[in-house]
Structure 1
């Protein structure tokens, strides 16, 4: 309650500040200068560009303004005179407009589009570089520019995500955004069936060298799918739209990871082609583990001690080609085709001891045995998309149609055998195959209509079709014959279909000439059915979700921005949540899906402040509240005996996914960067949130705990072509519905040297080099049982990267000083 009181008080102060600032502005009928800032290469608006007005003769600063989220700017109350207008944004070449005249005969000057050229391009063989921000704050998202991250060059997507503000990645590669793991992942703004099975595997198979930047959207607007209570992470892969033939090759090798990527692009006139291929391999590593599980009933106490190791490998590759074609100056069509493949394999063994005592502590039995396990998984997918966009004569009015479809083929396999030790005999064994097919097809239409000055209407509709077929074939060992026999009772089959129909309407406008507001409403209606082998066809209850969103934003002339936003999100159970496949590769710890899950509903309130300084420093602070109803989490129950089909398992823990109740989080995130002179830059990212879990499960009770994460990055520019980076990260332990996940520390250093006129570079990286293992302790508690897991995970690694850029880019030369490229009105 105190949180909301403070938030309401802060909001009122925020609005009063706006009213006061407007009241202090004299409404004088003098001159006006306006226009729009765009990227010279792509034509996209450049938001938050700095525009400064100087007197022509004395070079005295008269006025200034920051462009809005659409790249538009307006200088008002300008006295008569002759001026110079300077346009400047980090990562772009500065442009000056001279001889801008305002007098009694001309009170208004309207520029044509001001085209800023990137300062990091190769022009006629000469490389021009400029310091580009690692973090960019935009009205609806934060952008992390991966090309500035030297220490992740030899790593994968999860290594990049570890450094992104508001994101936490645990030692297994699981990702949370502001403490929530239910994230909608996109690649180049589009969904993919790749993320429908094992997100961790996919993220750890995308080379960091293939990533252009990562967009973090914590409070998505009405245009975005409502899926994902944690928000949206959009991974933008590298592409090049420069004229000419260009390429980029990156190769990495190391003691733990190997990866490579090749990007090619060709553009001539209004037509362009691009293609890429990237691959990744996690080399063989061995994790040591031991488990201590205690359980009890009215008369006995059981204890299972398990000590073993597991060998693991992972590899995969991605490929794709695409084209874009400007049919006319106002019509564009683009298309992409991708093929992806990922796989992992693990083999392990463990010695087990099962002790049974009565209620007075007398030992009843002591059984020692051994288990051998093997797990394999692979998936491949085909994806294609076709987009059409039409820009009308009216500035800002456009229409687009987007189609994309992806087909995934997934395959899981396990086998296990259990042996008595004296004598060494097999007394139990099984194996299972789980092939599955998934298709996701999306058709989307969007339309933008400016309604007047500072008012824009957006609307659109979308249809999504999901189709999943999953088969589970289980074979059990007949110890008498030595044969594996098909189990009709444990095997399963499911056909799942879901359609989601969505429509949205949003409007953005200015209030009191200073406050930018964007509000919208999205309606999603979903219907689904599932056909199970043993229960038949089930028509799931249709769900209609009305999802509102609103953003208040105020940008000040001194590079400050404050934003207040609210959004509602939903999390529908996905393939991995509902898959009925029973993974009994460890018969003492079995996992399966849950077909009875309800969608999770989340409400998010966020207040953020960002500012930048002339020396390159940046600060971004965010306060947030998130409340989730029917929160979906992993849940474990213990059974002395558990029957699956015609088999009975003893002393077993069953893990599945459940709607555990309600979860409320109150948090703060702080990101800051500070350059020390021209050589050294420090960056820090600190997250802190208070979590309350109100469960309605048998283990019951309310859970409360504080979670935090802190990292510090330092980069030192030794010379114009040499840089050194270091990073340290600490994640505190995390609470869930049944216990505590472990804390861990991660650190690395990196060195990069550029040569051949900065067309080539090599880099060296070292991660957790002081310790071979990261030690992890996990506690889990439920009705009548406790589990303590210890793991030693190999994390020390060293890597080497080589990158080479080739080709020649051609741009229309944007001179730093331009006299005659605006509306002639007002120019001498």
Structure 2
């Protein structure tokens, strides 16, 4: 708000600046021009009032003929002032407007120094200023769609998964796996930057972020060349809460429910040019018991039937601390350290009834599985702004490290043998980024260079021992150290300009050079490999504005998707002997061409946004279930493969309307096709039919504002089953109701959320048709939940804004739901 106010005053002053003249007299053809200067201070603290707006007008008039902003020391200077008598007006939010009249300059004394000017705080300003924006919950901007989560009453007390479920264009399944317009090939950023937490399972990482920390979510379907080329379907940027307000402020949020609990504390302090901020939060889900039934039938008549129960609990904490410092209005630095820690455990049993070669086998398998992630991201950047408006250069550096640990104990009561497995992976990244923006007349140039140096070390150990305490022995080919290096070097340039005030064009190109090598540190388990390649990534967006707030946009971009450690890690998890999982270090990146036509319109309180899109993806990466023989038995091995290419056509519609003032109705519907052409290596993995499948995801919601600060909201989500080349994954639907009551003069609130009140449990069924087998499964989890949440804001604030830049890594395919079950 403060920045808007300052820029408005400055713009008004500049636009209305005219050749100076004496009041009531004609122009001075031969007049000497001078200057008016002074220093503005606070009447109480005697501190400089930086960036106050100063305007000069003719005596007795309000129309500005000259203007400027005070600098960080409160000093101002009005140049090219023609001798005459003027009115000087000084204004700044939180202070009384000061008028000095007359201010007189003459030909003999064209320069006038007014000395120290004192501004008095406005006595009507409250001790605490609560800045409340009027933004809608959904905003459609030129390059992205924004969901303002902090204005939504029905997400408090949950996690980031609950927030993303309500974002247009996105769909989230029961495990927390996120897809954009039907594709899970996305890049998730936190405050425009990557996070080491996302190096493993993205579903689990999102469940570690309390919903109360999230300010808004940006969905970018057509990223320009300025962004990393990663994410074949687009980018999701989660913005967390942070105040850039003068003074000390903070907020407390807490939620307690029958399924999950969360807490979060934000603190911000800003004095002059220094801002210090911190955040700490936590999340815990009560242990919940899931039930799974699985039946895999081989073509030769062998089968594996399982019925089991498992109990999952999750615990997560995270925190951050940072500082921004403005040396002056041209130079600034900021640093931020974010730490994440979360773990979840899955303990349970499976009763197995197998038949191999006509021989029946019945046993119980008991498993104790623990997963833990510890990570930090340290971001630093320096920005220099030139005197020319919009011209700036920034240098950023980021250091990230994450440790992913997976430990399990598994034994079968008929085998009298216990297996102990452990996988410890360390992901280290260093990123260097240089960006430069230069505005020409009617054209803006953006260009930059970037380098990402990434190293992954994974040590895997698997031992087998008897249950009587005998000595364990390593399992062959499952003990190794996997070393993987990936370096990405890139450069980009984009041009943006407007024609005839109606046509907007932004075009650019990016080149990325990828260098990969991997080995198993001499154990001989895997062959060393190298893979170097370059990608030219163009992008273009054309927009045309019409009357009545209508916009049509056409866009094209090429994107790539490199697999992350989640997909590459060759560690084999054999906690369930008959259903094992393993990464694939030989995956190639996906490459996609995206085309889109978008139409948007604003009609008073009504918003309409519709898109038709087409995506062609080469080397698409999917989960693959293979039936392999081990110890004379057929087992299912889940891994990842480049299965072929996919052509997808889609249509998306989002609408928001206020039929009456207190009521807001919103809806989003996305329908798209799945049409895959299998590669030669994948044909033998599936017996599925080669045809086009139609899928959808949708939600509708309604919000009603009652008197006395009471708000009610309800929303319904419905997703069709998601196809893969081997079959289909479960459909998903959810109904949510929430009510919030504002307290303490809108500084606090208390609310209640209810999820699926008529469904205590939900069943998720899937069907997989592989080479030589068919597999059916049903996964049942507790779902109905009730939660109470509370929030409170505090602080003594003045408006101040200064957006920052930083490193933005967008270059890895993120992990999906392996190990991410439950959590609702």
In structure 2, distance between residues paired with 1:372 and 1:347: 8
Alignment of 1:780 with 2:768, yes or no, is: yes
Q: Which residue of 1 aligns with 2:518?
A: 530
Alignment of 1:161 with 2:161, yes or no, is: no
- Structure 1-normalised TM-score? 0.81
Q: CA RMSD in A?
A: 2.7
Q: How far off is 1:331 after superposition? A: 1.0
Select which of 592, 597, 602 maps to 1:602.
592
Structure number with greater CO (CA < 8 Å, separation at least 6) is 2
In structure 1, distance between residues paired with 2:239 and 2:127: 28
Alignment of 1:372 with 2:361, yes or no, is: no
Alignment of 1:503 with 2:488, yes or no, is: no
Large movers: runs of 4+ above 6 Å: 42-46, 97-100, 108-113, 115-118
Q: Which residue of 1 aligns with 2:216?
A: 213
Q: Conserved in 2, the CA contact under 8 Å of 1:744 and 1:774?
A: no
Q: Which residue of 2 aligns with 1:381?
A: 375
Do the aligned partners of residues 622 and 112 (structure 1) sit closer, same or farther apart at CA in structure 2, a change above 3 Å counting? Answer: farther
Select which of 261, 264, 269 maps to 1:266.
269
In structure 2, distance between residues paired with 1:811 and 1:110: 25
Q: How far off is 1:194 after superposition? A: 1.1
Q: How far off is 1:183 after superposition? A: 1.0
Q: How far off is 1:352 after superposition? A: 1.2
In structure 1, distance between residues paired with 2:445 and 2:750: 48
Alignment of 1:755 with 2:743, yes or no, is: yes
Q: Conserved in 2, the CA contact under 8 Å of 1:41 and 1:242?
A: no
Do the aligned partners of residues 479 and 322 (structure 1) sit closer, same or farther apart at CA in structure 2, a change above 3 Å counting? Answer: closer
Q: Is the partner of 1:220 in helix, strand or coil?
A: coil
Alignment of 1:343 with 2:343, yes or no, is: yes
In structure 1, distance between residues paired with 2:534 and 2:6: 35
Superposed, 1:605-616 pairs within 5 Å as 605-614=595-604, 616=605
In structure 1, distance between residues paired with 2:661 and 2:526: 68
| 1:297-328 Cα deviation digits (max 9, x unpaired) | 4xxx1122111111001111110111111111
Do the aligned partners of residues 129 and 579 (structure 1) sit closer, same or farther apart at CA in structure 2, a change above 3 Å counting? Answer: closer
Q: Conserved in 1, the CA contact under 8 Å of 2:244 and 2:799?
A: no
Select which of 443, 455, 464 maps to 1:476.
464
Q: Conserved in 2, the CA contact under 8 Å of 1:415 and 1:431?
A: yes
Unpaired runs of 5+ residues, structure 1, are: 1-38, 54-94, 101-105, 358-363, 421-425, 643-647, 814-828
- Structure 2-normalised TM-score? 0.81
Q: Conserved in 1, the CA contact under 8 Å of 2:285 and 2:315?
A: yes
| 1:343-371 Cα deviation digits (max 9, x unpaired) | 110011011111357xxxxxx33221111
Q: Which residue of 2 aligns with 1:40?
A: 2
Superposed, 1:87-166 pairs within 5 Å as 124-125=127-128, 127=130, 129=132, 131-166=134-169
In structure 2, distance between residues paired with 1:693 and 1:43: 53
| 1:237-257 Cα deviation digits (max 9, x unpaired) | 110001000000001111111
Select which of 507, 519, 527 maps to 2:507.
519
Unpaired runs of 5+ residues, structure 2, are: 16-52, 70-90, 95-123, 802-824
Q: Is the partner of 1:241 in helix, strand or coil?
A: coil
Do the aligned partners of residues 129 and 545 (structure 1) sit closer, same or farther apart at CA in structure 2, a change above 3 Å counting? Answer: closer
Q: Which residue of 1 aligns with 2:558?
A: 568
Q: Which residue of 2 aligns with 1:393?
A: 387
Q: Conserved in 2, the CA contact under 8 Å of 1:506 and 1:520?
A: yes
In structure 1, distance between residues paired with 2:593 and 2:221: 11
Question: Which deviates more, 703-712 or 786-795?
Answer: 703-712
Do the aligned partners of residues 779 and 251 (structure 1) sit closer, same or farther apart at CA in structure 2, a change above 3 Å counting? Answer: same
Q: Which residue of 2 aligns with 1:578?
A: 568
Q: Which residue of 2 aligns with 1:25?
A: none
Superposed, 1:382-421 pairs within 5 Å as 382-420=376-414
| 1:198-230 Cα deviation digits (max 9, x unpaired) | 111110110000011111111111110111112
Q: Which residue of 1 aligns with 2:315?
A: 315
Do the aligned partners of residues 42 and 370 (structure 1) sit closer, same or farther apart at CA in structure 2, a change above 3 Å counting? Answer: farther
- Paired residues in the alignment total 697
Q: Conserved in 2, the CA contact under 8 Å of 1:735 and 1:741?
A: yes
Alignment of 1:546 with 2:536, yes or no, is: yes
Select which of 252, 277, 281 maps to 1:249.
252
Select which of 406, 426, 436 maps to 1:447.
436
Q: How far off is 1:478 after superposition? A: 4.3
Q: Which residue of 2 aligns with 1:229?
A: 232
Q: How far off is 1:109 after superposition? A: 9.8
